[in-house]
Amino acid sequence: MNNSLENLAEKTPLLGVNIDHVATLRQARGVDYPSPLAAMLVSEQAGADGITIHLREDRRHIQDADVYEIAKQVTTRLNLEMAATDEMLAIACEVQPFWVCLVPEKRAELTTEGGLDVAGQVKWLADYINKLQAAGIKVSLFIDPTETQINAAVACKADAIELHTGAYAEKGLADDSNGQNAELSRIKHAVSYAQQADSQLLINAGHGLTRDNVKAIAQIAGIYELNIGHALIADAVFVGLAQAIADMKAAMQ
Ligand code: PXP
């Protein structure tokens, strides 16, 4: 496992590959393939800078056994996305991922809708984050790109934030270029606001990023890492996972 946080000054953000949807495909049939572990190995060989998996409360894609196997074999950095629950805290402390990214979770949602309301639960979250950090795990908070949530993340002493790019992506899908530009400006403002609020805070971004919309986000100076899943696995259906990752990295340049 690579434990340093080098590349901070690099222009192009790192690429964290989210392999949840390999597990989605497996769970659709209730068999043991395709294997998220194999996807991790291919992703790392293809140049992924980190591997993200989301252990959801309902276990709809990634299973507990996946988390343990992947954590054992990861050679980059594992980012475990999870809800801030007691059950997940216990698993994270046992698995010891490099990162935990705290996300909001609703059972009925198709994917993570909206960021975590950090501002509404600063004291409680600060305590939760402290327990993870005491176990040697760095903590990121998945938040909407607003000053309020950034201030709250800083107050909680998070190591990183991940700015939710879902609204930016959705405006693009709706061919609303004005709306998309407005969302892009919101994200750019959030990045510079966060840099000023806490110069040690790492700033990541993700959700809904594709080869078509990633470049404008990747060009924002100060973003450390992009986490991308669905579009990569969708592309992989046609070109293979390694090529999909190479294509995404090229699109980020
Ligand atoms: N970041 C976070 C916190 C997420 O919850 C997700 C979705 O699992 C992603 C990034 C990746 O989003 P997508 O699958 O749309 O690329």
Substitution candidate for ligand 1 out of 207, 210, 212, 225 with most atoms within 8 A of CB: 207
Is residue 61 annotated as a catalytic residue, yes or no?
Answer: no
Rounded Cα distance between 146 and 38, Å, is: 37
Domain count, the chain: 1
pLDDT at position 9, please?
46
CA–centroid distance, 29 to ligand 1, in Å, is 23
Is residue 81 annotated as a catalytic residue, yes or no?
Answer: yes
pLDDT at position 114, please?
87
Atom 9 of ligand 1: nearest residue by CA position: 207
CATH number at residue 84: 3.20.20.70
Q: What is the pTM of this model?
A: 0.95
200-225 pLDDT tens trace:
999 999 999 999 999 999 999 999 99
The reply to whether 189 falls in a domain is no
Exposed / middle / buried, residue 78 (Cβ in 10 Å: 0-12, 13-18, 19+): buried
Question: Is the model's pLDDT at 32 over the cut of 50?
Answer: yes
Is residue 207 annotated as a catalytic residue, yes or no?
Answer: yes
Atom 6 of ligand 1: nearest residue by CA position: 207
The reply to whether 172 falls in a domain is no
Rounded Cα distance between 209 and 52, Å, is: 15
CA–centroid distance, 228 to ligand 1, in Å, is 6
- Residue 5: pLDDT band (50, 70, 90) is low
Full domain range(s) for residue 148: 14-157+229-252
The reply to whether 215 falls in a domain is no
Question: Is the model's pLDDT at 179 over the cut of 90?
Answer: yes
The reply to whether 127 falls in a domain is yes
Please pick, among 54, 105, 162, 164, the residue that the annotation labels catalytic: 54
CA–centroid distance, 155 to ligand 1, in Å, is 24
What token pair was written down for 29?
Answer: 């049939």
The reply to whether 133 falls in a domain is yes
CA–centroid distance, 113 to ligand 1, in Å, is 10
CA–centroid distance, 54 to ligand 1, in Å, is 9
Substitution candidate for ligand 1 out of 25, 230, 233, 252 with most atoms within 8 A of CB: 230
35-76 pLDDT tens trace:
999 999 999 999 999 999 999 999 999 999 999 999 999 999
Q: Which residues in the chain belong to E strands, given as ranges?
A: 14-18, 50-54, 78-82, 99-102, 138-143, 160-164, 202-206, 225-228
DSSP SS3 for 226: strand
Question: Is the model's pLDDT at 6 over the cut of 80?
Answer: no
The reply to whether 68 falls in a domain is yes
Q: Average pLDDT of 230-247?
A: 98
Rounded Cα distance between 138 and 14, Å, is: 17
pLDDT at position 70, please?
98
pLDDT at position 2, please?
43
Around ligand 1, the residues with Cβ closer than 6 Å are 18, 20, 54, 81, 101, 103, 111-112, 142, 162, 206-209, 227-231
The reply to whether 218 falls in a domain is no
The reply to whether 179 falls in a domain is no
Rounded Cα distance between 56 and 152, Å, is: 24
